[in-house]
Amino acid sequence: MAFVQDYFSRADRYLQVLKETPSPLYLLDTDVLKLRAREFKAAFSNVFPAVSFYYAVKSNNHPEVSRVLLGSGFGLDVSSGLELEMALALEATDIVFSGPGKTTEELTLAAAHTDRVTILLDSFGELRRLNAVAAHLGRSVRAGVRLTTNPEGLWRKFGIDPEQLDVFWTEAEACHHVNLEGIQFHTSWNLSPMAQTGFFRRLGKILERMDASRRAMIRFIDMGGGYWPPQGEWLQAAGTPEGLLKTALGKDVVSPKDHYSQPSTPISVFAKEIGRAVSKHIFPKIQCRICLEPGRWICNDAMHLLISVVDKKAPDLVITDAGTNAVGWERFESDYFPVLNLTRPALTETPCHVLGSLCTPHDVWGYTFWGKGIEEGDVLMIPTQGAYTYSLRQHFIKPLPRVISLQKPHA
């Protein structure tokens, strides 16, 4: 309820934006971005003697988000040539290029800007292709290698088996246009630091077996991102294990006012536990810079959606002027975010199907709203939609919302 009240207390500020630009809108709060950047940097700067921060562009690829974070002392973590082009256009000077399946064209672009880009290699084949590209350009490029954290299932697409690190290093030494300087790994959906500290324990054992001269070549370890935002994970009944089972059995699982929460760990605790693991398992073998690639944790709370009710078809069924193509997937069938009626604010949650205007039944914003009634013309807010929504938006049936900065009216 405190979460809801916090946004209702600023309702006039949000509604003021609509006087100049009609809904649907994305509202970008750059002050929140700056605050999250300061909090994240402070937490990890206190535990590592040498540390670098890279914003994961894929989590929200609006250029203004990256621009603000560059101004907050972050580098950029890009995962495609398209993102790399944006980072270069923004004049970023410290870029890491990660992700599988980099094309020759993408590697060429990165190698052409080797003074600004470190390429995080995903495979033996990518190492060979990069060496050929760099040789053709007459360049020497900085690189790291990604280690997979899960050799089973779909996550095996990322990186190489950690046990192959020594073999990879041997091949890299024969690639005279590639300077292998570091290691990357990534664990995702981290509600706690357990997966990250566990991998550092494993990595320490691998480093212990490496020749000391090779260990001395490691200048950085990039531990990726995957930190869950402070509010944790909020689920509809359908997003719980029990709900998934009922769905598989063909049973109705919609319980409008039943919401479920998985709390996240404070970022200060992440930093403390990860710092302890690195001090115990890594620093006795090598002294190097630690790199972090937060995305969701930084941008999740910095963008919100404003939509309007265009049709009230029943007391418990309304249609809005925006469809979930604005967020790119049917997240609200399983994820819970409060739908806030800014026009009629009240700390009362009422069952109601709040649906979008796409020609599909999976166009759901929520099964309840907060407010004292709901009518045509009312303005609704879906808060904290900054991560893995804007980047996933789709040109499907309806136009996409504009992005308006609360600090700059015409961002």
Query: Domains along the chain?
Result: 2-28+301-405 (2.40.37.10), 30-252+264-298 (3.20.20.10)
Q: For position 254, what pLDDT does the model report?
A: 67
Helix %, strand %, coil % for the chain, to 5?
A: 35, 25, 40
Q: For position 89, what pLDDT does the model report?
A: 98
pLDDT at 354 over 90: yes
**DSSP, res 149:** S
pLDDT at 1 over 90: no
Of the chain, the percentage scoring pLDDT greater than 90 comes to 89
Q: For position 251, what pLDDT does the model report?
A: 78
**DSSP, res 335:** B
**DSSP, res 160:** B
Note the pLDDT tens digit of each residue in 201-220: 999 999 999 999 999 999 99
pLDDT at 136 over 60: yes
Count of CA atoms in the C-beta half-sphere (13 A) of 312: 9
Instruction: Report yes or no: 91 and 66 within 8 Å, Cβ to Cβ.
Output: no
Confidence grade of residue 372 (pLDDT, cut at 50, 70, 90)? very high
Q: For position 371, what pLDDT does the model report?
A: 98
Q: For position 80, what pLDDT does the model report?
A: 98
Q: For position 408, what pLDDT does the model report?
A: 56
User: For residue 38, what are its two tokens?
Assistant: 């300061």
Q: For position 409, what pLDDT does the model report?
A: 43
What is the b/e burial string over 358-371, where b = at least 16 CB atoms within 10 angstroms of the residue's CB?
A: beeeebbbbbbbbb
How far is Cα 130 from Cα 132, in angstroms, rounded to an integer?
5
Instruction: Report yes or no: 277 and 197 within 8 Å, Cβ to Cβ.
Output: yes
pTM: 0.95
Mean pLDDT of 385-399: 96
Mean pLDDT of 307-316: 98
pLDDT at 200 over 60: yes
Note the pLDDT tens digit of each residue in 38-83: 999 999 999 999 999 999 999 999 999 999 999 999 999 999 999 9
Q: Which amino acid is at 183?
A: I
Q: For position 127, what pLDDT does the model report?
A: 98
Mean pLDDT of 126-131: 98
Higher pLDDT, residue 247 or 26: 26
Confidence grade of residue 152 (pLDDT, cut at 50, 70, 90)? confident
How far is Cα 392 from Cα 101, in angstroms, rounded to an integer?
20
pLDDT at 315 over 50: yes
Q: H helices then E strands: how many in the chain? A: 13, 18
Note the pLDDT tens digit of each residue in 101-127: 999 999 999 999 999 999 999 999 999
pLDDT averaged over every residue in the chain: 95
Name residue 405's beta-bridge partners.
Answer: 28
In 3D space, the residue among 294, 123, 122 whose CA is nearest the CA of residue 196 turns out to be 294
Phi, psi of 66 (to 5 degrees): -65, -40
Mean pLDDT of 344-355: 97
